[in-house]
Structure 1
């Protein structure tokens, strides 16, 4: 019998592949620090977006996979680069003038435009932590400001001063000639203005840990590199942090991939061992542009959670991390239904398949049972034809389709019904475009209507007159067979053209549910009424 660890060591699921790479670092000896450190980085220059969440979600999946194949303890550190200077003012926050007045100051020294925290950086940090806590992540939060000002980085900053030339040699090779003339890996914090200065160094005193420079007005200053008086440029900061904390794994977006040799080189110059990396593809908005904190394009975590449960977002993050993905409203229904499909499949799978199933990684090896007996896409269509204004308007139909279901026994379904009504009214209803059928389509729909009327009349007759196979006829499969047969008999080729016609004429959309399942959920007599209205042109807006 295959054990979980044996299966994990052979799994092709990407979290296990990455976990095995991390484990290989310690095949000769365990880590001296006593644990394996996974890290994620976050720049709080704007409101957190889903890409930030994705790094923590995916790193957590790799961490959990590692814990299956190894007994070495693990930690996950979520590090905020909140001492970075605010170089741009985000477009999607209030009090723009206040922020412009504090440009170039460390984010934890910029006033909070929302008036809730003592700085903009701390506001965004709090938002990130709230989002991560919503998903139940196990992590430790770290602030660059706290690490720099408390002295936690002092020893490494002194080493940066000592090995300044080696760090600069790595950096200068990556810069244009003009930039080389003014570049320094050290960024002093101006003692008077509090701004982060991008100025060249006149002198680096490695023995005493001092830097000398001229500010933007030509005045000379000398500052210690320790105690939060100076920080590192972001690329050297990456490598310094890896060396200081002995980071074993960090992932980042494809836009960082060309910098990997720089990060690694600086880490090694400072005596560290470069971590394992994982580069993921970027998330795109509806126009195919990279999502950005400063632009505020793409979806926020709160926006996704207004229309679907947290697990659907985790499922979206699991899928093909090395493929660029469009992150827009219309991906939500698909993510919900695919997540529950995988959840239903999990219970019957052998362990080798279970650990390759996304839900294993979403739930840390303990996925729940799915009770979403009606697909989310079907609930959206039901919300449309039923004219439901809240989830209670859907439950009468759901009860007929699944008599055993109640909001109490099927909380996933109850929540999904509420999400579906909201999603329909916000995104689907404004785009509905009904049309009349062509002559060929009308003939087929009238044939289907006739058969449904016959079925409705027969199954509602006196009990002794009801056919013994009535349950089969009224089942989702039985109704689907009927719809399928009508399309074939009326010469639709390919058959998808028949179903597209049903969706466009009856539902106002070019795509839709398995139509037999829709009839079973909505009801035969209700579907008859819907078809009669549609064929008479009653669904088309004047």
Structure 2
């Protein structure tokens, strides 16, 4: 019971003894245990966030909407982490609305498109052209893809497209809109009038050599259009600052110009930590999530808010997504599995399910995770929606009709990983043929109501299998078999001739006994059989795979593997 709870984090029905304890599930801190005939409600992580937000009552008494915000720096292509911040915040917003239905709320997705271009991303075309604009606001850099009106416009457009596909409907704000329109003018004037108070917060956190020239304001040089400027004086009575274009930014050097500009109308922006505080103050933000790497920035931005007489929002950090080597995924590098790749390998709904898991745990995102997550999602779909808090939250947080394909039901007994292994073993790159194999296989029960979804899953499995081919062994002979492995394969082929292919457990036991009798390492032995059957070193339960492939296919695959390995060994002996 506890293992299922850890996996799904949903309501469970338990019986007999009472034993409650606190545990960390995939979805956060929960209370679970056994109580006769009683459903134990699990507290999801978004409910914990609402508990924190509920203490902030300022807007609840005057009927103003509670503002949820997410932030995106469009310095590179949006990745899963960018999308995740909007999705997770939407889950929290839904939980808040469920608890406080009479309090209105808004979700703002803010893009800092006036951030300066510090480097050229590795995953964009026309790098030489982009390099010419280092140090300029992202909204002033041409689109390297030649589609949008600016570099940031392209990146923001990609994010909007992803969010629309999933049914998320935040209000989109950008720095350029807020600065140029004058929406931030009042806040900028307040910062100018309280420069020393802001410095008192920020300067102690900087290196001594940086403190001398640091300013909350970043003027855009009127000549070269870059942030290669240093503030030389403040003129609060005129709402202006003086500057010299005499430093470096993103590898670009200042042009030597000096000037005096207004802090209003988009002629300046403020640095990151101050900009975050300005945004919170001017938009009235009540809640925002941020990556673990921004915890210190959030603390400083909160102190700046307080120095300006403003209450900072409730903040919540999340752990970072990592690539398969354990490195943080980056917009500028494009490492880790991309949203486009995940969507080609598995249903969109599997991404939403993945993002319901606790954000307090760092996770490596790669192709293997996609398969595992899809298996878990199919298992989740076997639970009635009425008793399934996760599905209700996923439905409610997205626009109606977007992520509710096939009524979100699945009752068949096979999962996605098994389907991928079958595709690899069958060697058939045809959706209809694989789908027919599933429907006609006497050892497999495909529920009629799952037929359409199964057809879609076959399409995903075929694309997933194509993605695996680059990492597969080029042929069966790539594994140099030992004498013991050859004899074990010969023995297994003999025993399969009389085996009952309707009994997966018996087939599993048989393969185990054959390997053990030859004193083979069982991990290596099973990996060898997976390679022989699917050309992958891992797979589903071997007895089930053999049963579904049937006697003829199983024997043929194993015999071909054995013959190829023996021929390769003979060639090696001749060459030596």
Instruction: Give TM-score scaled by structure 2 length.
Output: 0.81
The residue number in structure 2 matching 1:254 is: 292
Aligned position for 1:482: 507
* Shift, 1:137, TM fit: 0.8
Alignment of structure 1 residues 117-516 onto 2, 5 Å: 117-203=148-234, 205-216=235-246, 218-344=256-382, 346-347=383-384, 351=387, 354-355=388-389, 357=390, 359-364=391-396, 368-370=408-410, 373-401=413-441, 402=444, 410-428=451-469, 430-432=471-473, 434=476, 435=479, 445-446=489-490, 448-454=492-498, 474-475=501-502, 478-485=503-510, 487-488=512-513, 491=516, 499-516=526-543
* 8 A contact 1:61–1:361 mirrored in 2: yes
Q: Are residues 192 and 330 of structure 1, via their aligned partners in 2, closer, same or farther at CA, if it must alter by over 3 Å? A: same
Measured in 1, the distance between the counterparts of 2:369 and 2:321 equals 12
Q: Does 1:526 align with 2:553?
A: yes
User: More displaced, 519-528 or 163-172?
Assistant: 519-528
Q: Return the match for 1:47 from 56, 74, 77.
A: 77
Across the aligned residues of Structure 1 and Structure 2, the Cα RMSD in angstroms comes to: 3.0
Quick one: distance in 2 between partners of 1:525 and 1:481? Answer: 17
1:334-387: per-residue Cα shift (whole Å, max 9, x none)? 12112212222x329x84xx33x5x44433388821266532212222222211
TM-score relative to the length of structure 1: 0.86
Per the alignment, residue 465 of structure 1 pairs with none
* CA distance in structure 2 between the partners assigned to 1:454 and 1:509 by the alignment: 26
Q: Distance in 1 between matches of 2:134 and 2:364?
A: 32
Aligned residues of 1:282 and 1:324 also touching (Cα < 8 A): yes
Where do 5+ consecutive residues of structure 2 fail to align? 1-10, 12-31, 33-38, 247-254, 398-403, 572-576
Give the Cα–Cα distance (whole angstroms) in 1 for the partners of residues 550 and 471 of structure 2: 25
Are the aligned partners of 1:280 and 1:323 in contact in 2 as well (CA < 8 Å)? yes
Is the contact between residue 505 and residue 543 of structure 2 (CA under 8 Å) also seen in structure 1?
Answer: yes
| SS at 1:251 equivalent | strand
**Segment drifting more, 277-286 vs 479-488:** 479-488
Q: Which residue of 2 aligns with 1:463?
A: none
- The SS at the match of 1:46 is coil
> Within 2, Cα distance between the matches of 1:540 and 1:341?
43
Deviation at 1:147, TM superposition (A): 0.8
Instruction: Measure how far apart 1:441 and its partner are.
Output: 5.3
Distance 1:371 1:132, change over 3 A: farther
Alpha-carbon distance in structure 1 between the residues aligned to 2:515 and 2:450: 43
2:116 corresponds to which of 85, 88, 111: 85
1 CA distance for matches of 2:201 and 2:229? Answer: 18
Structure 1 gaps of 5+ residues are 456-472
Change (3 A) 1:486 1:81: closer
For residues 463-502 of structure 1, the C-alpha deviation after alignment (integer angstroms, 9 at most, x for no partner) is xxxxxxxxxx654xx2223322552476469865653443
